[in-house]
């Protein structure tokens, strides 16, 4: 397959490197990292064994041209770049696979391309980008692959087989929307509370007033610290159950027991910083719209009480203020 990776941070670089190592023709669309990656390639420091690959590198999508598969791993805050970056890569048979967090990404792609070309991949993996072209893989790696608004077909199963051949555990789902909510059960508390800790634990019960931007009373918290404090673990669990109740109200059969399962799995990760924590510490925009605000809107539309999620969204919006330095 000819594959383009759009968004070569930790997620895009890791899965792109795996596919490159397996012999696929992989093009990385790069901006600031172009010179380093073209010269030095991509090094993955992995619990499953380190490796190095030399993907093809391009500065513009026009240099790459039409592809069989486009892996989209952009931060969702950059989705406004879809019309500029994607059309030169897409032909009538191209599979567009969004590996992005949250809700609404496939819908944005469907405004530009036929819905039957759109897939989603949910990545359950612990990754960090240490520097340009260097990715640290600490744990997990599963991809759950599905098609937008329909059951999985032959193309999806072929792509899943290609990922498995590349050393990536991959499952196929016939219900992509439910898989997205299942991932939010983890993403919302561990990404959200980890950042909200900068405003203090009490902010979840007493959100900051409109227009206030601090003071921030503490650092962001990785997963192990969120679970080490009984009060924080209680908030994690309450947020998870609000997400699960919302998903069930929307017709997705997700049991309450998923919360305990996700917490147990998280304990094995050690001091892992979720992506939103890293964005906050680097003073980059947070992925609020897809990962927090859209789930909140859907909960409210479904009539599901989600006081913890509503408070979390309010705190994160204050912390994401452009005035922070």
How many other CB atoms are there within 10 angstroms of residue 232's CB atom? 19
Tell me how far apart the alpha carbons of residues 222 and 99 are, in angstroms, rounded to a whole number: 22
Cβ atoms 3, 10 nearer than 8 A: no
Task: Please tell me which residue in 2, 158, 171, 183 is annotated as part of the active site.
Answer: 183
Beta bridge partners of 126: 139
Residues 6+ apart with CB under 8 A from 299: 242, 246, 249, 306, 309
**Collapsed DSSP state (helix, strand, coil) of residue 131:** strand
Owner of token pair 């997700």: 254
Closest CA to 10 of 132, 95, 105, 97: 132
Closest CA to 10 of 237, 319, 279: 279
ω into residue 215 within 30 of 0, thus cis? Answer: yes
Beta bridge partners of 43: 52, 134
Pairing of strands 118-131, 56-58: unpaired
Residue 225: burial class (beta carbons within 10 Å; 0-12, 13-18, 19+): middle
Cβ atoms 172, 122 nearer than 8 A: no
- Residue 213 CA: distances (Å) to CA of 37, 56, 321: 38, 43, 7
2 is catalytic: no
What count of Cα atoms within 13 Å lies in the side-chain half-sphere of residue 243? 33
Give catalytic residue positions. 183
């Amino acid at each position: 397959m000819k594959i383009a990776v759009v968004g070569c941070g930790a997620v895009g670089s890791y899965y792109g490197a795996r596919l490159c190592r397996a012999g696929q023709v992989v093009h990385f669309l790069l901006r600031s990292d172009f010179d380093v990656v073209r010269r030095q390639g991509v090094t993955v420091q992995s619990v499953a064994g380190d490796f190095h690959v030399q993907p093809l590198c391009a500065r513009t999508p026009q240099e790459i041209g039409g592809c069989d598969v486009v892996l989209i791993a952009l931060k969702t805050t950059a989705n406004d770049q879809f019309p500029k970056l994607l059309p030169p890569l897409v032909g009538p048979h191209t599979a567009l696979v969004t590996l992005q967090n949250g809700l609404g990404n496939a819908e944005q792609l469907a405004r530009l391309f036929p819905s039957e070309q759109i897939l989603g991949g949910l990545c359950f993996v612990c990754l960090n980008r240490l520097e340009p072209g260097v990715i640290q893989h600490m744990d997990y790696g599963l991809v759950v692959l599905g098609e937008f608004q329909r059951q999985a077909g032959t193309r999806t199963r072929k792509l899943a087989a290609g990922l498995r051949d590349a050393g990536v555990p991959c499952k196929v789902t016939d219900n992509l929307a439910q898989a997205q909510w299942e991932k939010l059960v983890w993403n919302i508390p561990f990404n959200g509370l980890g950042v909200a800790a900068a405003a203090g634990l009490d902010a979840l019960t007493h959100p900051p007033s409109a227009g206030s931007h601090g003071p921030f009373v503490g650092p962001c918290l990785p997963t192990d610290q969120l679970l080490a404090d009984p009060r924080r673990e209680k908030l994690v669990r309450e947020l998870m159950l609000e997400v699960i109740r919302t998903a069930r109200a929307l017709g997705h059969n997700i049991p309450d027991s998923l919360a305990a399962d996700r917490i147990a799995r998280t304990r094995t990760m050690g001091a892992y910083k979720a992506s939103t924590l890293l964005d906050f510490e680097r003073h980059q925009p947070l992925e609020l719209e897809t990962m927090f605000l859209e789930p909140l809107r859907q909960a409210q539309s479904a009539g599901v009480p989600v006081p913890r999620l509503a408070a979390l969204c309010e705190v994160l919006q204050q912390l994401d203020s452009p005035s922070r330095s």
